[in-house]
Chain A
Amino acid sequence: MSRAGIRLGPWALKGSAAITLAYILTPLVFVTWLSFFRQEIPSFPPEGYSLRWFAAIAGNDRFVSGFLLSLQLAVIATGIGLCLGLPAALCLSRIRFRGREALNSLLLLPLVVPGIVLGIALYVFHVEAEIATSLPIVGSLGGLIAGHVLIVIPWTVRLVTASLAGLDRSIEEAAQSLGADRLTTFRRVTLPAIRPGVVAAALFGFVSSFGNLEMSLFLVGPGRTTLPIAIIQYLEWKIDPTIAAVSVLQILLIAAVMLLTDRFVKISRVV
């Protein structure tokens, strides 16, 4: 290889990284810019800048209650998803049993099935279940939470399994030989060792639940609107920069959560 060829390699890598980064960031930059436009109809160049759209959010009940519901939903679904995903990941990575691969794929399936399909399927299931049990299931908060748990589980299972795979089993045996029973070993040794994976799992589960639109559309009941649904409903009537302002706040929230967790565990090492 020529000397020029040797130098070209790193530059090609940096170049493609830059293009990818620009591709990801460009919409975010424009949305952020747009949220500060003064005029109601987005057009270029901006007529001026203002913070009125951010102020408008606070005055909009649907956005505020939507945000609170989405937050509540994401926290609860992530909590339940972790409680289910962590033991599942332990089983999948520790115990050899028939159908292990199938179960592994099954638990990742909600990530693969389109949200619309998932939403319709759950809706039909809820209707059938309500008819069969005559319990109020369709459009209930419980039904919505159950649906969100479903989309959190693949993240928790995947990420916790990945950290368990990288764990040296002999540290658990060392703990046991030193006098720790199974539970103590898990609490004192296993859990701290896989903590970055668990935190990353919670984070990704939270984000995917918080931002979910398609599935939630089928599961919300009257008067119960998540933030993404509130945004879509708003967009049906108006296209003013309020939506951009909401998006900016959402981006900031998620970025803050990520940066905060990254201070305590290096997520970059897991994902």
Chain B
Amino acid sequence: MARLQIDGITKRYGEVHAVRDVTLDIADGELVVLLGPSGCGKTTTLRVVAGFAEPTSGAVRLGERDITRLPPWKRNAGLVFQSYALFPHLTVAQNVAFGLEMRNAGAAETAGRVSDALRLVRLEHLSERLPRQLSGGQQQRVALARALAFHPEVLLLDEPLSNLDAKLRQEVRVEIRELQRKLGLTTVMVTHDQEEALTMADRLVVMNDGAVRQVGTQQDLYEHPVDRFVAGFVGRSTFIEGEVEAPGRFRSAGGLALACNGASVGPATLALRPERIAVDMAPHAGVDNNLPGVVEFVSYLGPAIDMHVRISAEERVVAQVPNRAGGPVPKVGEQVHVGWPAGNGIVFPGVEPVTGNGTSERRSQ
């Protein structure tokens, strides 16, 4: 395995920028997830690394080699596709052997590596089957074995779990992650599923409109999103538009005066995580922000209860409270009090145009 450096990659199709100046340095053995809504450039970035798209400018380095202009078959990158892309006319073992055969490995070496790879994904017993005789999860594991059998320098996963059903997806996530750690595989994975990204990544790269918005660990992105897009895409947020009147004072468009942390004076957006808002029947004592509101929508999720609380004629917040044994389940129309300390809100200065579907989907009303 090797270090992968993506250095200022730009990919233009005519006037359209699919990828703008993306730079990433992925350490040996690290799993980096490119996360973003569809059309954000994450797949194009992966295809540039794999060699299926030539960047308009920038360079890709794998280990000591500059691979920017190399064709895909000279890159030594293992690729797993969303559709698995197994060769339908070859058996499982022949599929897994394909990469070794292309490298003219001897028969004995090939046989050994094929059975090693199939053992890794626990499918040795199916080596003589054809792909169409396997379930989706099994096909996915064959695709992984095929991508690993020839000992690639980097593993590229393109939405590898999207075609699996929800339960299987959770299992395979863990399985791939454990395998990746055990073998120390330098891995780039593309997904639009934030839960998948959070489960698997060492580091995440949030992309939108072809550009990198933020790179960091799960905690970095959740606790310190750099902008409104990231705050809306990683986890959920309620956004309240308004302005910072004075340091520490936020005035919402609906006229509410709210305490916030620092921030320079001017138009701004206040982002609130649902689980960082407390909801009670009685007013909260000694909390920076304490507002009466009316419950307008309730979702009983099991471990938690989601509710939409109207706090002014124009603003509603989403709050998520743990579902404690015997605790009251609020009803629509009930009067409640919402509260949060100033530090729980994140202020993004400026008026940011809503871009990408990630933001618009998660906007508060």
Interface on A for B, CB 8 Å cutoff? Answer: 168, 170-171, 173-181, 184, 188-189, 192-193
Contacts and interface: CB of A to CB of B under 8 A. Distances in A.
Contacts of A184: 102
Nearest to B149: A178
Interface string B36-59: 000000000000001110000000
Contact of B87 (A175, A177, A179): A175
A189 B87 contact: yes
User: Taking chain A's interface residues, is the majority helix, strand, or loop, or is none over half, making it mixed?
Assistant: helix
A171 B73 contact: no
B247 interface: no
Given A173-B52, A173-B72, A173-B79, A178 B85 contact: no
Q: Which 8 A-B pairs have the closest CB atoms?
A: A179-B102, A178-B99, A177-B79, A170-B85, A174-B85, A176-B72, A192-B89, A170-B81
Contacts of A174: 79, 81, 85-87, 143, 146
Contacts of A170: 81-83, 85
25 contacts: A168-B85, A170-B82, A173-B50, A173-B72, A173-B81, A174-B81, A174-B85, A174-B87, A174-B146, A176-B52, A176-B72, A176-B73, A177-B50, A177-B77, A177-B156, A178-B73, A178-B146, A178-B147, A179-B73, A179-B76, A179-B103, A179-B150, A192-B87, A193-B87, A193-B88
B2 to A, nearest CB: 16
A181 B82 CA distance: 22
Contacts of B103: 179
Contacts of A171: 85-88
A179 B99 contact: yes
Contacts of B75: 177
B204 to A, nearest CB: 24
A177 B143 CA distance: 12
Contacts of B78: 177
Nearest to A192: B89
B222 interface: no
A176 B98 contact: no
A189 B102 CA distance: 13
A193 B72 contact: no
A160 to B, nearest CB: 17
A193 B103 CA distance: 22
A181 B74 CA distance: 9
Contacts of B81: 170, 173-174
Contacts of A181: 71, 73
A34 to B, nearest CB: 45
B185 to A, nearest CB: 15
A244 to B, nearest CB: 43
Contacts of B98: 175, 178, 180, 188
Nearest to A172: B85
Contact of A180 (B73, B77, B83, B147): B73
A177 B75 CA distance: 7
Nearest to B74: A179
B102 A178 contact: yes
A181 B51 CA distance: 12
Given A178-B102, A179-B150, A173 B71 contact: no
Interface string B88-120: 110000000011001100000000000000000
A168 B89 CA distance: 13
Contact of A193 (B50, B71, B76, B89): B89
Question: Chain B CB within 10 Å — which of A168, A173, A177, A181 has the most?
Answer: A177
Contacts of A180: 73, 98, 102
